[in-house]
Amino acid sequence: MIKLYIGNKNYSSWSMRPWVLLKQAQIPFEEVKVRFDSFDAGSEFRNTMNAVSPTGKVPLLVHDDVLVWDTLAIAEYVAEQFPVQHLWPLDRTARAHARSICAEMHSGFTGLRSNCPMNIEASLPEQGALIWRDKPAVRADVARLITMWQTLLTKYRGPMLFGAFSVADAYFAPVCMRLKTYGLPVPANITAYIERVCRLPGVKAWMDDALAEDDFLDFEEPYRLHR
């Protein structure tokens, strides 16, 4: 049985990716949620994760005696272990394209990620409007996303980025959450894709759990004093 260590569902974008991938692909796994209390040395979160992971971070996948602790590595491992689910596109060119955009997300889009932290429960369009006005890096990241997604949705004819659900859609699901929370301006076809992602059973299950969490963590909340 696979065991997946994750953080708070409202805030942990990196945890969301492999959880949604496993859930949407109907791969059985045991969820182990390690609540964020702080990321300081000696915190309960750090003590728990340091005991099981070489990085002390989430997500972490444990499968028998195998540990996988990077989100992209987890996606590759799961796709390798469960080939019948076709988690990467079957076509070689499409598969290379999907891997490229996931790697781009993994290492890039720092303007959007740093200025618009994932917060599924919140609705922050007013803050989003100020971020949009004042942060050119956010505008550049969203422009890149629009170009990327429109190209893929046209080429592969939707409903997901490569036609059928793949690692790429799980990887960009937290981006969809950010765009919704902050009300950042995107064209109608991109809004439609975001809504389709939100209706995926795996994504909806994560969102429902995030909305049910009671935590308000001030270090994850740069724009609010309370829920």
Per-residue confidence (pLDDT) for residue 192, from 0 to 100: 98
74: which 2 tokens? 């987890």
Cβ contact 170:17 at 8 Å: yes
pLDDT of the residue at 101 = 98
Residue range(s) of every CATH 3.40.30.10 domain in the chain: 2-85
For 35, residues 6+ apart whose C-beta sits below 8 A from its C-beta are: 7, 8, 44, 45, 215
Residues 6 or more apart whose Cβ sits within 8 Å of residue 207: 120, 177, 198
pLDDT in tens, 37-96: 999 888 999 999 999 999 999 999 999 999 999 999 999 999 999 999 999 999 999 999
Which tokens go with 124?
A: 């922050």
pTM for the full predicted model: 0.97
Predicted confidence at residue 149, as pLDDT, reads: 98
CATH 3.40.50.300 is right for the domain spanning 2-85: no
pLDDT for the residue numbered 30: 98
Record the tokens describing residue 160, joined without a space.
């997901």
H or E stretch at 163: none
pLDDT score of 156: 97
- Check residue 126 and give its pLDDT: 98
The tens-digit pLDDT sequence of the chain (227 residues) is 999 999 999 999 999 999 999 999 999 999 999 999 999 888 999 999 999 999 999 999 999 999 999 999 999 999 999 999 999 999 999 999 999 999 999 999 999 999 999 999 999 999 999 999 999 999 999 999 999 999 999 999 999 999 999 999 999 999 999 999 999 999 999 999 999 999 999 999 999 999 999 999 999 999 999 99
User: According to the model, what pLDDT value does residue 63 have?
Assistant: 98
For the segment(s) 92-209, the CATH number from 3.90.245.10, 3.40.50.1360, 1.10.460.10, 1.20.1050.10 is 1.20.1050.10
Contacts of 214 (CB under 8 A, 6+ apart): none
Q: Are 178 and 218 in contact (CB under 8 A)?
A: no
**Can you tell me the distance from the alpha carbon of 158 to that of 105, in angstroms, rounded to the nearest whole number?**
20
In the prediction, which pLDDT does 208 show? 98
CA proximity to 4, closest of 50, 47, 66: 66
Question: Residue 31 forms beta bridges with which residues?
Answer: 4
DSSP string of 92-145, one letter each residue = HHHHHHHHHHHHHHHH--HHHHHHS---TT---HHHHHHHHHH-HHHHHHHHHH
pLDDT at res. 2: 98
All CATH 1.20.1050.10 domain ranges of the chain, comma separated, are: 92-209
- The predicted pLDDT at position 226 comes to 93
